[in-house]
Amino acid sequence: MTILNGVDIVKITRIEGLINKNKDAFLNKVFTKEEIEYIKGKNYSPQTIAGLYAAKEAISKLLGTGIGKLNFKHMEIVHNQRGKPQVLLHERGKEIAKDLNIKDIQISISHEREYAIAYAVGEASKKEEALLVPEKIKNILPKRKKDSHKGTYGRVGIIAGQEGMTGAAYLSTMAALRTGSGLVYSICPSSISHILAIKLIEAIIKPVEDKGCGHFIYDSLDEVLRIIEDMDVVALGPGIGLSSDTSGMVKEILLKYEKPLVLDADGLNCLAQIGLDLLNKRKAPTIITPHPGEFSRLIGVETKEIQKKRIEYSRQIANRYNITVVLKGTGTVVASPRGEVYVNTTGNPGMATAGSGDVLTGVIVSLLGQGIGPYESAVLAVYLHGLAGDLARDKKGEYGMVARDILEHIPDSIIALDSSGKVL
C-alpha cells in the first residue's frame, strides 16, 4: 500500500478578486451545479469558495496531474450530514484514480487568517496482477478427488536434522505438508526429537537412536530402514551433517530403499565422498538438488565452469546416472534422464537465504509422493518454490525475507495455478 497526498494553499483575497471580476463565469468554470448550490447557501463566502478551490488543487496534485490534464469539474466536493467534505471523482478523475488503484480520497479544509488550506490523502493499494502460468506447469498438478483421504496423497519420510540443524528438518517437513502431502514423517536423531515434536504438530515424529551424540549414527541404520519401508517416498539429507556415520547411512539407504528418493544438502556431500556411480545401482527414481558448489563436488568440475554451462552439465549427469537433476540458482535447471530440460522463471535474489533449499526439498518430495513423475515433480516444485519466494518478497522485501516466509506462501503459489491466474 502507498499513501499519496496533495496540499494546496489559496489566498482568500485572490478568490475575492475573481468573484468581483466575473463571479458567474468563475463559478461555472470551476464548480459543479451542486457545488454552486452549496456556495450559494453559504452566501458566496470567499472563505468557502477558496476552501473548495484549494481542495480541488490538492486532489489534482495527489492524482499526479495538477489542473490542466484534469478539469476542475472532474473533482467534486460534497458534504455529508455533519458537514464533513467528501470527494467525488468524475470522468478523467475517476480514470486516473482507477489507474493508480486509489479506492478512497480523504480531504481536509481549514482556514488560517487570509489563507484557505486543503490537504488530500489517498491510499493506493497494489493492483491484483495476472500471472501467466505456463500451460505445461498448470497441468501438472491434478485436481483432488472428492472421495480421497490422507493416504491418497502420499506417505512421505524426511530424514533430516541434527543438533544445531533442527531448522532443516522443520522447513522440509512443513514444506511437504504445505504442498499437500497426506502424511509426513520427520525421521530425526532422538536427541532433537523433543524440539521437532513441539514445532511440527501436524507431522509424525520418528526419533532414531543416536546414543546422545545429536546426529544420525550408522548403528541405527536398520531402524531407519524399518521406518521408511512403508513410505511412498523419502527425502534424505537436509542438515544431517557429514561424517563416516552419515556417509555410510546414505550409501545403504540409496542401495536398499527401492522407491523414489530426493537427495539434498548433506546427503549430496556424502554422495560426493561415495561416488556418483552408486546412483546407477538404484532401482527407483532419484532426484538430486545441488546448488552449484555441491554440484562441483559431485562431478569434479569447477563451479565457474558449471555456471557457464548449467544446462549442458545438468543434462549430461541426468542422462549418465539415470536421475533427475535440479541445479539450483538463478534460472534453476531441471534435467531428466530422457534429455528433457526446464529452466525456471520464478524466484528472486531474496531467496538466497538459509533454509530456502530445505523448503524446496519438501515441495519436491511432496509432489513425488502424490504420484507425480520425478521430472514433472521437480519442474512444478521449482516453479512453485520460486513463486512463493516472489510472493514473500512482495510482503517482506528481498533483504528481510527468510525461508519461513517462502514456506508460508507455498499455498498461495499453488492457488495461483488455478485457471483464474490471479495472485492475491
Active site residues: 61, 111
Instruction: Yes or no: say if 173 and 193 are a contact pair by the CB < 8 Å rule.
Output: no
CA dihedral 93, 94, 96, 100 (to 10 degrees): 140
User: For residues 183 and 203, what is the distance between their CA atoms, to the nearest angstrom?
Assistant: 7
Strands 261-263 and 286-288: parallel
User: For residues 47 and 50, what is the distance between their CA atoms, to the nearest angstrom?
Assistant: 5
C-alpha to C-alpha distances, 15 to 22, 30, 115, 303, nearest whole angstrom? 11, 12, 10, 72
Residue 243: Cβ within 10 Å count: 17
User: For residues 214 and 194, what is the distance between their CA atoms, to the nearest angstrom?
Assistant: 12
Name the residue among 221, 214, 177 with its Cα closest to residue 194.
214
User: For residues 287 and 324, what is the distance between their CA atoms, to the nearest angstrom?
Assistant: 5
User: For residues 403 and 359, what is the distance between their CA atoms, to the nearest angstrom?
Assistant: 7
